[in-house]
């Protein structure tokens, strides 16, 4: 800890803060007091789980260089407890190391421990395995949910406790839940229970807080005695900002004015072609007004990062209400979580960053003087390179699956202990017909009949669903359905089961006797696939419609950050050296994201790539297809600057998304069959 203290003193410049054991952080009326002195913060959200750990320090240095004095981040439960009672706090999950780096960069921290975090993250951070109890009430006083939360915090909070300010760390406050007032349950027993859990593990001296949209209704259900209330909202008129903060004055005593999520950018969904984002003038205007009102606030996001792997969530576009209602309009979040933030997905500074940095530097008596801005990383273009088609998931079944289960009726992902990605369902027909119907399927299904692509099923891509395939089927033919989990719903929380979750019928007759195999596209499987020497496909030149696996190798003699471009591909996932860089989706009409960010730290001089394509690839030569890397990201949506109109929390978010809905384009492959 002495080393950390010395580093903080050396790196902090004027007004460097101390992180000594025994330091105090308290709330006195509407003021924060740090070691007995009035304190305010301007912080920035950054998610360790969306950044390669080798890049954590670079991003933190840039946040500090902007003049911010703190960071704010979630701890997503499902990222650390992938399977029940199997905890991981190492490598890219080592938030203790992340906090240490923040402290070395002279940054305080505000940590949001959930159990629900939202963050446009898979299932809002709640583990999939809780859904094995089909009737569980998430985010409620359901004893099963509370028991699991307590067990999670019992294992996680000891990793956080040493980083509390009084223990010599840099954590000032801890948030419980997130925007609970936007959830229909309004369960005070639940909120009181998790508050008491947090106090037990962190101590009564630790300041707990909540964050909710700036409305009386949301604050009523999202706040709890013993946890300081805060609000969230984006750029707004001065009159609106006055109103939002006045909502906090209803509490006794009135707490410090805090905007825990002030939005300098916004998220993007698959199929979206326009995005309304705050303009720089509006950001600075609202920032200055909040500052003049003696408020503290947090830029959400200061740096967004990437939804690597299968970690993207899904968002509803229904109007906000605290009743469950009809939440059928759902879109998934794209792989990039750039968020049009001041620091880009790849860690580059922007005009927005420089404007915020200049504004902070102009504040009188602000002790956290902006520092020299670190350099952006080098980006390179590589290729083009080739990959070879190895086979379909059905042909590669023995390599892609290590667990198959037989049952009378189809089993869900959760019942199979297969949390993310894909499951292969297979049966031999006992009856014939010309129409297969699956009412319950989440989210996409790709049907093969005797190994040939027959059609697709789609559930809830926006307001579009397709639950039947029309094709002539005969008894004893083999039906295979590859089901894709596009990402569980983040907001609003539901029991978002995945897979075939209802009866399958042919001309009204139930199809039974299924075998389902979980496909594990993890590091080990990727290594196995890339080492295949003899493709299992038949030799032919015509293109196959449907899911396929491609493998290739490429060289990057001097690895740098880069962006993967797949101009002729449709939809799928990509593994480079066993690392899942995320989902691509070019086929849903004009798409917002055309490249995938590839951090240099996953590259080697000689690399392997595995591409799991779900449809087909255009512009190939026989079994050989191509891809390349470019120096800059390519996004395909129109940014519309907005100076005012950003409201609060989920109220604003849903209004904004609803405006976008008219620009959503549905995939052309919906009409294939």
Length of the chain measured in residues: 673
Mean pLDDT of 17-46: 94
Is residue 660 assigned to a domain?
A: no
320 lies in the same domain as 458: no
504-506 and 433-438 beta bridge pairing: antiparallel
Is residue 317 assigned to a domain?
A: yes
Is residue 667 assigned to a domain?
A: no
Nearest one of 222, 43, 48 to 649, comparing CA atoms = 222
Residue 526: pLDDT band with limits 50, 70, 90: low
The pair of structure tokens assigned to 106 is: 């002279």
Residue 544: pLDDT band with limits 50, 70, 90: low
Query: Which is catalytic among the residues 179, 492, 548, 623?
Result: 179
354 lies in the same domain as 432: no
Cα Rg, the chain, nearest whole Å: 25
Q: What is the pLDDT of residue 673?
A: 38
Read off the CATH number of the domain in which 202 is found: 3.20.20.80
Higher pLDDT, 170 or 657: 170
Read off the CATH number of the domain in which 594 is found: 2.60.120.260
Mean pLDDT of 474-489: 97
Nearest one of 339, 356, 333, 349 to 265, comparing CA atoms = 339
- Report which DSSP code applies to 470: E
Mapping DSSP onto H, E and C, the string for 544-599 reads CCCCEEEEEEEECCCCCEEEEECCCCCEEEEEECCEEEEEEECCCCCCCECEEEEC
Is residue 657 assigned to a domain?
A: no
Q: What is the pLDDT of residue 591?
A: 80
337 lies in the same domain as 387: no
27 lies in the same domain as 138: yes
Q: What is the pLDDT of residue 533?
A: 55
Domain termination residue (choose one: 472, 493, 521) = 521
Residue 462: pLDDT band with limits 50, 70, 90: confident
| 515 is known as an active-site residue | no
Q: What is the pLDDT of residue 444?
A: 96
Biggest CA–CA distance in the chain, Å, is: 80
Query: Which is catalytic among the residues 81, 120, 261, 484?
Result: 261
Whole-number Å distance between alpha carbons of 177 and 260: 13
Whole-angstrom CA distances from 426 to 437, 445, 467, 481, 499 are 15, 12, 17, 6, 13
| Bridge partner list, 386 | 626
Q: Residue 263 in contact with residue 9, Cβ under 8 Å?
A: no
The answer, yes or no, to whether residue 182 has pLDDT greater than 70, is: yes
Mean pLDDT of 642-652: 44
Q: What is the pLDDT of residue 21?
A: 85
The pair of structure tokens assigned to 156 is: 């996680």
Is residue 643 assigned to a domain?
A: no
Whole-number Å distance between alpha carbons of 167 and 616: 56
512 lies in the same domain as 568: no
Residue 593: pLDDT band with limits 50, 70, 90: very high
247 lies in the same domain as 339: yes
Q: What is the pLDDT of residue 15?
A: 37
Q: What is the pLDDT of residue 19?
A: 86
Chain centroid to Cα 398, Å, comes to 31
pLDDT tens column, 2-25: 444 444 443 333 334 568 888 999
Q: What is the pLDDT of residue 670?
A: 34
pLDDT tens column, 348-363: 999 999 999 999 999 9
159 lies in the same domain as 16: yes
CA dihedral 355, 269, 178, 59 (to 10 degrees): -40
Is residue 106 assigned to a domain?
A: yes
Angle at 313 between CA 308 and CA 314, to 5 degrees: 140
Q: What is the pLDDT of residue 272?
A: 85
Supply the DSSP string of 121-176, one letter for each residue.
BGGGG--GGGGGSTT--TTSS-HHHHHHHHHHHHHHHHHHGGGBGGGTS-EEEEE-
The answer, yes or no, to whether residue 659 has pLDDT greater than 80, is: no
Q: What is the pLDDT of residue 276?
A: 81
pLDDT, the chain, mean: 89
Whole-prediction pTM value?
A: 0.92
Q: Into how many domains does the chain fold? A: 3
Q: What is the pLDDT of residue 230?
A: 99
Domain termination residue (choose one: 521, 556, 578) = 521
Residue 545: pLDDT band with limits 50, 70, 90: confident
Residue 317: pLDDT band with limits 50, 70, 90: low
Nearest one of 153, 208, 143, 144 to 178, comparing CA atoms = 208
The answer, yes or no, to whether residue 475 has pLDDT greater than 80, is: yes
Cα atoms found within 13 Å of the Cα of residue 391, Cβ hemisphere only: 18
616 lies in the same domain as 554: yes
Is residue 635 assigned to a domain?
A: no
Lowest mean pLDDT among 29-33, 212-216, 652-656: 652-656
556 lies in the same domain as 501: no
318 lies in the same domain as 436: no
The answer, yes or no, to whether residue 488 has pLDDT greater than 60, is: yes
The range of the structural domain enclosing residue 498 comes to 397-521
638-642 and 571-576 beta bridge pairing: unpaired
The answer, yes or no, to whether residue 539 has pLDDT greater than 50, is: no
The answer, yes or no, to whether residue 430 has pLDDT greater than 60, is: yes
622 lies in the same domain as 558: yes
Q: What is the pLDDT of residue 239?
A: 98
Is residue 615 assigned to a domain?
A: yes
| 37 is known as an active-site residue | no
Q: What is the pLDDT of residue 316?
A: 84
The answer, yes or no, to whether residue 111 has pLDDT greater than 80, is: yes
Residue 525: pLDDT band with limits 50, 70, 90: low
Q: What is the pLDDT of residue 47?
A: 99
90 lies in the same domain as 202: yes
């Amino acid at each position: 800890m002495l080393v950390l203290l010395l580093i903080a003193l050396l790196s902090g410049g004027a007004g460097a803060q101390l992180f000594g054991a025994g330091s105090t952080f308290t709330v006195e009326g509407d003021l924060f007091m740090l070691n007995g002195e009035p304190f305010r913060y301007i912080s920035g959200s950054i998610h360790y789980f969306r950044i390669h750990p080798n890049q954590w320090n670079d991003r933190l240095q840039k946040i500090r260089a902007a003049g911010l004095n703190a960071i704010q981040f979630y701890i997503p439960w499902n990222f650390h407890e992938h399977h029940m009672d199997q905890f991981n706090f190492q490598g890219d999950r080592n938030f203790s190391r992340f906090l240490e780096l923040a402290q070395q960069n002279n940054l305080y921290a505000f940590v949001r421990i959930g159990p629900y975090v939202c963050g446009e993250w898979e299932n809002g951070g709640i583990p999939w395995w809780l859904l094995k109890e089909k009737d569980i009430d998430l985010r409620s006083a359901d004893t099963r949910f509370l028991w699991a939360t307590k067990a999670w915090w019992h294992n996680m909070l000891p990793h956080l406790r040493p980083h509390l300010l009084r223990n010599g760390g840099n954590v000032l406050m801890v948030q419980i839940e997130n925007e609970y007032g936007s959830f229909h349950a309004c369960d005070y027993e639940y909120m009181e229970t998790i508050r008491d859990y947090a106090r037990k593990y962190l101590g009564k001296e630790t300041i707990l807080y909540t964050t909710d949209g700036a409305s009386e209704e949301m604050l009523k259900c999202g706040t709890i005695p013993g946890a300081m209330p805060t609000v969230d909202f984006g750029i707004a008129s001065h009159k609106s900002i006055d109103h939002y903060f006045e909502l906090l004055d209803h509490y006794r005593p009135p707490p410090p004015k805090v905007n825990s999520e002030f939005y300098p950018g916004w998220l993007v969904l698959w199929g979206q072609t326009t995005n309304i984002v705050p303009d720089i003038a509006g950001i600075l205007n609202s920032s200055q007004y909040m500052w003049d009102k003696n408020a503290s606030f947090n830029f959400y996001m200061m740096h967004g990062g990437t939804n690597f792997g299968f970690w993207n969530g899904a968002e509803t576009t229904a109007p906000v209400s605290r009743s469950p209602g009809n939440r059928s309009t759902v879109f998934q979040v794209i792989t990039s979580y750039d968020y049009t933030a001041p620091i880009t997905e790849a860690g580059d500074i922007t005009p927005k960053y420089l404007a915020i940095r200049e504004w902070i530097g102009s504040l009188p008596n602000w002790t956290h003087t902006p520092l020299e801005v670190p350099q952006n990383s080098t980006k390179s273009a590589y290729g083009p390179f080739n990959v070879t088609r190895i086979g379909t998931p059905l042909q590669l079944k023995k390599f892609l699956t290590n667990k198959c289960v037989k049952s009378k009726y189809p089993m869900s992902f959760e019942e199979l202990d297969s949390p993310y990605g894909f499951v292969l369902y297979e049966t031999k027909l006992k009856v014939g017909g010309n129409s297969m119907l699956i009412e319950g399927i989440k989210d996409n299904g790709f049907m093969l009949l005797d190994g040939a692509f027959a059609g697709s099923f789609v559930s809830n891509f926006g307001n579009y669903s397709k639950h039947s395939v029309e094709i002539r089927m005969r008894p004893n033919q083999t039906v295979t359905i590859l089901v894709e989990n596009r990402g569980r719903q983040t907001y609003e929380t539901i029991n978002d089961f995945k897979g075939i979750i209802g009866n399958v019928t042919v001309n009204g007759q139930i199809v039974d006797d299924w075998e389902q195999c979980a496909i594990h596209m993890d590091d080990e499987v990727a290594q196995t696939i890339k080492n295949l020497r003899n493709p299992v496909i038949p030799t032919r030149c015509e293109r196959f419609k449907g899911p396929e696996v491609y493998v290739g190798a490429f060289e990057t003699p001097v690895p740098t950050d880069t962006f993967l471009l797949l101009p002729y591909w449709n939809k799928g996932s990509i593994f480079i050296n066993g690392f899942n860089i995320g989902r691509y989706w070019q086929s849903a009409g004009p798409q917002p994201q055309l490249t995938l960010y590839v951090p240099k730290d996953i590259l080697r001089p000689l690399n392997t790539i595995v591409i799991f394509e779900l449809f087909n690839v255009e512009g190939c030569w026989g079994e050989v297809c191509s891809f390349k890397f470019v120096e800059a990201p390519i996004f395909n949506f129109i940014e519309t600057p907005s100076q005012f109109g950003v409201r609060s929390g989920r109220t604003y978010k849903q209004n904004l998304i609803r405006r976008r809905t008219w620009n959503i384009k549905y995939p052309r492959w919906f009409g294939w069959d």
